[in-house]
Structure 1
Amino acid sequence: MSLAPRLDLRQSQSLVMTPQLQQAIKLLALSNLEIEGFIAEEVERNPLLEASPAEDGDIPDREPVAEVRDERVAADELLSGAGGAAEPALDVDYATESHQQDSIADGGSGNDGALSMTGASTGGAGGEDGPDLDAFADTGLSLADHLMAQAGSVVGQDDAFIAAHLIDQIDEAGYLSVPVREIAERLGVPLARVERVLGIIHTLDPTGVGARDLAECLALQAKEADRYDPCMARLIENLDLLARGELTRLKRICQVDDEDMADMIRELRGYDPKPGCRYGGEPSQAVVPDLFVARTKTGWGIEINSATLPRVLVNRSYYTELAGGQQDKASKAWLTECLASANWLVKALDQRQRTIIKVATEIVKQQEAFFLKGVAHLRPLTLKQVADAIEMHESTVSRVTSNKYVSCARGLYELKYFFTSAIQAADGGDAVSAQAVKAAIRGLIATEGAKILSDDTLVELLNAKGFDIARRTVAKYREALGIGSSVQRRRARTLEGA
């Protein structure tokens, strides 16, 4: 083997991503509201771009499913730059990614996983009976500000810095998150002095704020209501027994009869275990759908929500005016770059909408039974199935379905909701989705009545319905739905009857 230096000529192929192509791929994962912010930044940076709200007369990007069953939308075509140079397709897995197959559909959520939206423009699950989102709006005043405003009039100037430090250590739920001794050592003041200031904070509104644990929080509220007698004190000291439903033992400890115990439990239920949650926090915001799905005479109509997408236009007359003037070489290059960037953005946004429509169309085809009959008819579906059907890569489908919501007659759903794992049928028939099994579990428990159903009983009932499912899977889905075990439900039923 020769060790002397030499020159070799080798030929190889490599995939190079241009900045424009990288940005086009990122656009797929953005929601309509995020796209709106991105467009605003581009319009501010590029003088040749103009953005205007969608007009009422604009024709939406609607594609009925019945008319596109054999039609291929050119969503994977190569992007062309201003100079006509071909670039790689968007549908390429540029890095090893982990694609979520089961998605959010396996998580617990109410209303069969739908997000209710009051006043949805297209058949949401909210309507008149839906929750009033405005009722959860933030008051605009944080808990710390609320407490500091009160402490200024009841805490002396010498102790103001202690009160400010204590209030700063109170979490969003209203509890003191740091031990009092640690605060005293940190501030270099006697422990008794910090305890005294904390006692003043305990008198502030909301009642129970500054408590170190749940028992102290409830005790403060009981004292405020003048119900903190020795019996109530012993009940609060034994909250663990109350949680386990050991009422007989509690009555013996508190030395009360059935009527008094029931009255004390009702009193505790009226207290707020998290008094600080009334203040602060981020304002609640309604989810805005990116897509609308509606039944039409010829099939299903799928429409991009143009209300959240401004129209982007290239001002070519302004470009002609600027290009016709006297320019140096740098100005001409800058103007050419602005035009190429503007043309690319318009093409990328158009391709993004076509890709979203194409993926949503296939999802509606696969899950048509859900849109017609409900969650019990939701089919098992993976990203790969949709990707193979529309001849795209899983990474493209994953990006398209991220942070996207669809509004239909059954409510508002995330696109990831329609991807769920499969549960084999007990009779050997077609597999069913995990979400359909969860709906069945929820329905059985909701109608269990006085006889609490154990997980083993649920397995038997589900097998009778045609679901071949193991006990551990039932327990997993029950916990994902936020439903307690049979023992916990029985204890809760006992406490309700107390």
Structure 2
Amino acid sequence: MALAPRLELRQGQSLVMTPQLQQAIKLLQLSNLELAEYVEQELERNPLLEAATGDPAERIGADEDHGEREPVVTSETSLSLSEDGPLPGRDGDLDTDYDNVYADESRSDAQNDAAAAQGPTSSDWQNVKSGSGGSGDGEFSFEATLTREATLAEHLTDQMNMALKTPGDRMIGAYLIDQVNEAGYITADLADVADRLGTEIEDVEAVLQVLQTFEPTGVCARNLKECLALQLAERNRLDPAMKIFLDHLELFAKRDFEQLMKLTGADREDIASMVDDIRLCNPKPGLAFGGEPMVPVVPDVFVRARADGSWAVEINSETLPRVLVNQQYYAEVSKLSGDASAKAYISECLNNANWLVKSLDQRARTILKVASEIVRQQDAFLVHGIQHLKPLNLKTIAEAISMHESTVSRVTANKYIATPRGIFEMKYFFTSAIASSEGGAAHSAEAVRHRIKELIDVERPDAVLSDDNIVDILKSQGVDIARRTVAKYREALNIPSSVQRRREKKAYA
């Protein structure tokens, strides 16, 4: 077969994602913290973008008068709907304004601006002079410099500097302290530590023994058994029987006290005393010290009940970054710049800035649209509780609001919704369906898990429910479920088996 050049015409279809479309999709699945970080990076990169501050209504009015910037108006939006009312914007066009969408009026800062214009008052100067310590004598307060609690590593390091004298021991001790996790346990293997530091394992073990004498008692242990042993030894409760008990903690977890009595040679009263001593110990002594601050969950959407029985769904404006496009700066730079590359650069910055504003607007509207439909679908849950949570999937929401399932999946990822029943991740409302034994509506898997937990919580010590008993009860209530499914849900709830629960209830009867 001869090879020769030739021309061919082919027609086909393909999906091409522009960089702007990729950016919009990326913004859609970001959490509020990730979105704020992304916008900060764009503000540093793009000279035409500015962070909007102050009252939104005043800012919009000022921008219209001077024609300097384009305001972002989607940072405060809300939507009111009832269970039977139509969902606005079902055509899927994100650029179309919703019906019943109104701007959230913010409080005016006129009083603050007037106070700032008058300058500091005598009371202000007095507060500055007195400082945050509250002494009023003008002296520096060291307490004002405290911003956080001491961490576990800092606490151990202070004790190590007092207990260890030689530089070699301090180097080993510092390395071991770096290997202590937040619970207070050593996570590294001592042989690996000795090999990495180029020393003998006996030296590492000697330093570890010193570290295990530090406060809080039980810190720097290598496992739970060693942690409990250190605390029991301090209270003079680490006798031979207790050592055997600690060697078989798995039997204690199973509440197999009969086997523990055989191994330790103790009677039931002594075993109960050992259990009480162990319960006085702290299995995670390191958690008593300050660590990384906990970041609270900030909801992206608020849902509140109205007097007429409907639900008001509102975007949390505090989680939405407010950015403006400085059109005046763009006009000035375009006039003064004669370089073609500079004009191309500033034009690209303008396009990127406008697209970012549009993407943020679309993101807010899409989240509001999806959240509104979720509230519509799960109205019974909001009114009556978890027993009335309906089975729901992404396809149902996507079809109701004329969007693709992947878009709904991105919207519900890492987003939280505040309801009268608490703050939930949007993914929480999507649960699989369990068929009804009576041919009626299907039951939500989450509601069934909650029902299983309720049944086990109220069971009597002399009538512990097995998985088969739970299946029979649920079927009598109209839930068609298999025994293995009950076992899977029970294990997911960290509920032990009926045998272990029976042992535990007998032990504490």
Query: Which amino acid counterpart does residue 252 of structure 2 have in structure 1?
Result: L
Match of 1:175 in 2: 185
Please give the residue correspondences for 1:20-419 in structure 2 after superposition, counting only pairs within 5 Å: 20-53=20-53, 55=55, 60-66=76-82, 69=86, 71-73=88-90, 75-76=92-93, 140-157=149-166, 158-184=168-194, 187=197, 189-279=199-289, 281-296=291-306, 297=308, 299-419=310-430
In the TM superposition, what is the alpha-carbon distance from 1:11 to its structure 2 partner? 3.7
The C-alpha deviation readout for 1:167-214, integer Å capped at 9, x for no partner, is: 344444333334445544555544444333222112111211232332
Asked if the contact 1:425–1:468 (Cα under 8 Å) also holds between the matched residues in 2, the reply is: yes
Q: Secondary structure at the match of 1:34?
A: helix
Q: Secondary structure at the match of 1:406?
A: strand
* Alpha-carbon distance in structure 2 between the residues aligned to 1:46 and 1:179: 49
Q: Secondary structure at the match of 1:62?
A: strand
In the TM superposition, what is the alpha-carbon distance from 1:29 to its structure 2 partner? 0.5
Query: Which amino acid counterpart does residue 431 of structure 2 have in structure 1?
Result: T
In the TM superposition, what is the alpha-carbon distance from 1:321 to its structure 2 partner? 3.1
In the TM superposition, what is the alpha-carbon distance from 1:253 to its structure 2 partner? 4.2
After superposition, the Cα gap between the structure-2 partners of 1:39 and 1:17, relative to the gap in structure 1 and judged at 3 Å, is: same
* Alpha-carbon distance in structure 1 between the residues aligned to 2:202 and 2:33: 53
Query: Which amino acid counterpart does residue 398 of structure 2 have in structure 1?
Result: A
* Alpha-carbon distance in structure 2 between the residues aligned to 1:53 and 1:464: 60
Match of 2:129 in 1: none
Asked if the contact 1:54–1:309 (Cα under 8 Å) also holds between the matched residues in 2, the reply is: no
After superposition, the Cα gap between the structure-2 partners of 1:242 and 1:448, relative to the gap in structure 1 and judged at 3 Å, is: same
CA RMSD between the two structures? 2.7
Match of 2:6 in 1: 6
The C-alpha deviation readout for 1:14-68, integer Å capped at 9, x for no partner, is: 3322111110111111123322222222222223222224737689322222386
* Alpha-carbon distance in structure 2 between the residues aligned to 1:324 and 1:68: 52
The C-alpha deviation readout for 1:366-416, integer Å capped at 9, x for no partner, is: 111111111111111111111111111111111111111000101001111
Match of 2:107 in 1: none
The C-alpha deviation readout for 1:102-147, integer Å capped at 9, x for no partner, is: xxxxxxxxxxxxxxxxxxxxxxxxxxxxxxxxxxxx9654433322
Q: Secondary structure at the match of 1:63?
A: strand
Q: Which runs of 5+ in 2 are unaligned?
A: 58-72, 97-146
- Whichever of the two has the greater Rg, that structure is 2
Q: Secondary structure at the match of 1:196?
A: helix
* Alpha-carbon distance in structure 1 between the residues aligned to 2:189 and 2:344: 64
Asked if the contact 1:54–1:310 (Cα under 8 Å) also holds between the matched residues in 2, the reply is: no
Asked if the contact 1:73–1:354 (Cα under 8 Å) also holds between the matched residues in 2, the reply is: no
Match of 1:127 in 2: none
Match of 1:87 in 2: none
* Alpha-carbon distance in structure 2 between the residues aligned to 1:140 and 1:198: 25
* Alpha-carbon distance in structure 2 between the residues aligned to 1:239 and 1:346: 59
Match of 1:486 in 2: 498
After superposition, the Cα gap between the structure-2 partners of 1:323 and 1:68, relative to the gap in structure 1 and judged at 3 Å, is: farther
* Alpha-carbon distance in structure 2 between the residues aligned to 1:470 and 1:452: 19
In the TM superposition, what is the alpha-carbon distance from 1:482 to its structure 2 partner? 1.7
- Normalized against structure 2, the TM-score is what? 0.79
Identity among equivalent positions (%) equals 51
After superposition, the Cα gap between the structure-2 partners of 1:39 and 1:303, relative to the gap in structure 1 and judged at 3 Å, is: same
**Greater CA deviation, 220-229 or 435-444?**
220-229
Q: Secondary structure at the match of 2:311?
A: strand
Query: Which amino acid counterpart does residue 468 of structure 1 have in structure 2?
Result: D
- Normalized against structure 1, the TM-score is what? 0.81
After superposition, the Cα gap between the structure-2 partners of 1:225 and 1:388, relative to the gap in structure 1 and judged at 3 Å, is: same
Asked if the contact 1:53–1:310 (Cα under 8 Å) also holds between the matched residues in 2, the reply is: no
Q: Secondary structure at the match of 1:195?
A: helix
The C-alpha deviation readout for 1:401-437, integer Å capped at 9, x for no partner, is: 1111000101001111111100011101010110110
Q: Which runs of 5+ in 1 are unaligned?
A: 80-137
In the TM superposition, what is the alpha-carbon distance from 1:74 to its structure 2 partner? 5.3
Asked if the contact 1:24–1:348 (Cα under 8 Å) also holds between the matched residues in 2, the reply is: yes
After superposition, the Cα gap between the structure-2 partners of 1:441 and 1:332, relative to the gap in structure 1 and judged at 3 Å, is: same
After superposition, the Cα gap between the structure-2 partners of 1:349 and 1:68, relative to the gap in structure 1 and judged at 3 Å, is: farther
After superposition, the Cα gap between the structure-2 partners of 1:292 and 1:54, relative to the gap in structure 1 and judged at 3 Å, is: farther
In the TM superposition, what is the alpha-carbon distance from 1:265 to its structure 2 partner? 1.1
* Alpha-carbon distance in structure 2 between the residues aligned to 1:298 and 1:170: 54
